[in-house]
Amino acid sequence: MIGEELAKQYTAGVIILAAAPCTAMVFVWSYLADGDPAYTLVQVAVNDLLMLFLFAPIVGILVGVSGLPVPFRVLLTSVVVFIVVPLTIGVIARSTLIRYKGREWFERWFLPRLQSVAIVALLTTLVFIFAFQADNILNNSLHVVLIAVPILIQVYFNSSLAYGLMWLFRVPHNVAAPGALIGASNFFKLAVATAIALYGPGSGAALATVVGVLVEVPVMLSVCAACNRTRGWFPSPAATWSPRSWGPGMDASDSGMHEDRRFELQLRVACLVQHLVVMGHDASPQVPRTSCDQADFAP
C-alpha cells in the first residue's frame, strides 16, 4: 500500500513536526483555557532556546535512524533562517523602535498594526502551503489518514501525560492547562519549511508536516475544551499554597505573602525573556502584556 521509501519520508516528516515545539499558537490555546500569560510566555521562551540548540541534532539523529539521508548543512541553514534571523530582527526592531519612538507608541500604535499584518501573513502562509500540497492531499487521502494517526496519538498522549502530572502535584489550573497545551502543539511553520528544504515540496516528508497543520487546529481545540471542562479537578491558585504546606508557625497571611513573592518571581522570569520572544515570530498573535515596566519590586 505504501512503498518503503515513501514510508521513510512520511516518518521523517512526522519526526520533524514533533521536534518543533510550539512557540506561537500556544498563546491562543492558553488564552482559550484561561492560562497564566506569564507562565505561557516563559514556556515559549524556553522552547525558543531549546530549538536553537536541539532542533537540528534531534532531527538529524532520529531521521538518520529512520534510514533517510539528512543534509546537516541544510538543516542548520533552516534553523538559522527560520529561527535565529526572525528572532534577531524582532529583538533589534523592538529595541530600536522603543528607543526612538517610546514604549507607549510601540505598544499602543505599532503592535496593534503589526498584529493585523501577522494574521494576514499567517493566512497567506497557510494558503501557499495547501496550494502546493493540494494534489498530494487529494490524491493520497488514505495516506493522509494514516499519517494523522501517529500525530493524534502524540497530541493526546503528551497533553494527557502533562495534564495528569499537573493534577497529581496539585498545580493550579491556570498553569496546568498551558503546560498540557504547549506539550501537544507544534511549530508547524518551521516543520513545513524544514521538510521542504530537506526533501522538496513534493516529498512525503513535506506532506506529513502539512497533515500536521490540518490536524492541529481541531485537535488542539478539543484539548482546550477538555481542559476547560475539567477545571474543577484542580485547586485554585490561592488554595494551592496553604499554611500546612509551609509547616507550623505560618498562618494564612504568611501563605498569602509567599504567594505574592511567588508571583513576583514568576513575573521577573517572564520579564527577562519577554524581549526575546515578544516580536520574534512574524505570525504570532500579540504576546500578553506583563507589568514588567511598571512593577516596582522590593529588594
Q: Strand, coil or helix: what is 186?
A: strand
The rounded distance, in Å, linking the Cα atoms of 208 and 195 is 9
Q: What totals of helices (H) and strands (E) does the chain contain, helices first?
A: 13, 0
Q: Does residue 85 come out as left (phi exceeding 0), alpha (psi in the -120 to 50 range) or beta?
A: alpha
Read off the pTM. 0.71
Closest C-alpha to 211, from 55, 14, 62: 14
Q: List, for residues 189-200, the tens digit of each pLDDT value.
A: 888 888 888 888
Flag whether 117 is in a domain.
yes
Closest C-alpha to 180, from 214, 218, 227: 227
The rounded distance, in Å, linking the Cα atoms of 267 and 239 is 20
Q: What is the DSSP letter of 21?
A: B
CATH number of the domain to which 154 belongs: 1.20.1530.20
Flag whether 291 is in a domain.
no
Range of the domain at 249: 4-277
Q: List, for residues 149-190, the tens digit of each pLDDT value.
A: 999 998 999 999 999 999 999 999 999 999 999 888 888 888
Flag whether 298 is in a domain.
no
Flag whether 284 is in a domain.
no
Flag whether 150 is in a domain.
yes
Flag whether 287 is in a domain.
no
Report in angstroms the alpha-carbon separations of 76 from 10, 44, 68, 82, 98: 21, 21, 17, 10, 32
Domain count, the chain: 1
Closest C-alpha to 90, from 114, 109, 113: 114
Strand partners, 36: none
Residue 21 backbone dihedrals phi, psi, to 5 degrees: -70, 155
Q: List, for residues 45-66, the tens digit of each pLDDT value.
A: 888 888 888 888 888 888 888 7
Q: What is the pLDDT of residue 238?
A: 58
